[in-house]
Structures are given as structure tokens and as C-alpha cells.
Homo-oligomer: A and B are copies of this chain.
């Protein structure tokens, strides 16, 4: 899915929502088995009910790997349930390794699982990111400034040149890709730094977690939008675990629609 297609999807659905499928077997509604089959049934219902309100699904790979082979199967099957072109499929894998290893991860997530996008970790620098960027029609989503407390340990350190580590990370990565194949993860809880980020990458799409449960506010994001939106806002637990009864999927849809309605006003 290229940028034009993504923007068209955003305009058609009047939404820039990304639903996070961080599906934990322990948190499934009581009527579903607490295993990979339960996860798949849950994801199927969530996808069917939320598809009108979302332009993206983000699969948190850790939750699937924690179930071993069965989890990998549930991951494969979940991806097949998402109608092609109706939502950007993001593998939230945060991979990062030297070139020949990064190529293997790209193969796993782009070729075999047919995801549209993957999140990557920039710590190891250029050769750990380039193999992902070499795929046509696929997106690489690099960590910029994350929403968690640990961001202070490395990302927010002051550099000798007066900038912070995350600024330099974003700038050096931006040189490797384009606004058509590279996005950045920026936490909604880091609103104080949005201006600095947009000064470096005025046009790149941002994938923003941290709205809702983690304390970030949707309205604070108005200032980082581009003319063609330039934003995907992720919500995971707030949507998928909105309700623990057999009516979980309807309640998830209500939560997704609520966010979509707010987003429609911002577009």
C-alpha cells in the first residue's frame, strides 16, 4: 500500500485509527479458549466489527511468539482475515540487526506474512534498516521517540551538538528512505517534542501509540498533522479489551467508532 492509497483510505473512512491486536490469551472473554484458537476467533470478531472505523491493524508479534508455533499460525491466519487494501497491516516487531539478518526479518514479515509495514529499531544504524526499505510498496516504521518511561535512558540524552539522540536518529534514518516508504513511531505522551520532530520530518507519517491508557490526548496531535493527515494513531487495549463478555466485538466497535468520530473532526 503506497502513500496515495493510504491517504485515500483515510479520507474514505474519515479515520486515521490503527487498532492494535496485542491479543493475550489470558485476557480473552471467558467463553473463548485461552489459546491460539481463542486468539484467532477473537481477532476475527474484532477485525469484522472494527474494519469500518480503522485504516490499520498493528499486530504485536511478541504476543504471538509467546504461543510458539501455534501463535505463528494464529498470526498468519489473522493477517489473511484482513481484506487487502482495506487496512494497512503493521507487524509490530521492532526488529533491528545487521544487514544479512535484517534481510531475513524482511523476508519473514514482508514476503511470507505479507504485512504492509514493520516497526524497526534504529539502535544499530543504517545497515539494520536499509534491507526493509528496499521492498517496493512496503513501509518501514522506525522507532523515533517512544512513549515509555525508558525513553529517558537513551532516546532523550543530550548530544554534544545540542540535539537529543532521538532527533539525530530520526534525521539519519530520514536520509535512507522517503515519505513514501518510511514512517516514525512517536509516543503521544511526548507532546513537548512534537515541534522538534516536525522540524526534521515535516511530511513523514507518524505512528502514534500512547493515546488513552498511557495518558496521551488525541487533540494534542492536531499540530503534527500534514495536509494529507500524516498520522496513524494506535489504540490497543482500550478497544480490544473494552468488554469481557460475549458482546466484546460490538463494544470494541463502539470504542473504535468513538475515536473515528473524533478523528473525522480533525481531518
A interface residues (Cβ-Cβ under 8 A, vs B) = 22, 24, 60, 62-63, 65-69, 72-73, 76, 92, 94-102, 104-105, 107-108, 112-113, 121-129, 143, 146-155, 157-162, 165, 168-169, 172-173
Contacts and interface: CB of A to CB of B under 8 A. Distances in A.
Contacts of A99: 148
Contacts of A113: 68
A124 B148 contact: yes
B150 A105 contact: no
Given A65-B104, A68-B108, A123-B143, 11 more contacts: A24-B104, A62-B104, A65-B108, A69-B69, A69-B76, A98-B150, A123-B123, A124-B148, A125-B154, A159-B160, A160-B162
Contact of A159 (B67, B95, B148, B157): B157
B125 A122 contact: no
Copies, count: 2
9 contacts: A22-B100, A24-B104, A66-B107, A94-B96, A94-B121, A121-B124, A124-B146, A124-B148, A157-B160
B169 A112 contact: no
Contact of A101 (B60, B98, B104): B60
A128 B96 CA distance: 14
Given A97-B94, A101-B62, A104-B62, A150 B165 contact: no
Contacts of A69: 69, 72-73, 76
Contact of A97 (B62, B68, B102): B62
Nearest to A151: B125
A96 B159 CA distance: 23
A105 B157 contact: no
A59 to B, nearest CB: 12
Given A62-B102, A66-B105, A94-B95, A148 B123 contact: no
A243 B93 CA distance: 34
A65 B104 CA distance: 8
A158 B159 contact: yes
Given A95-B94, A98-B148, A101-B22, A154 B65 contact: no
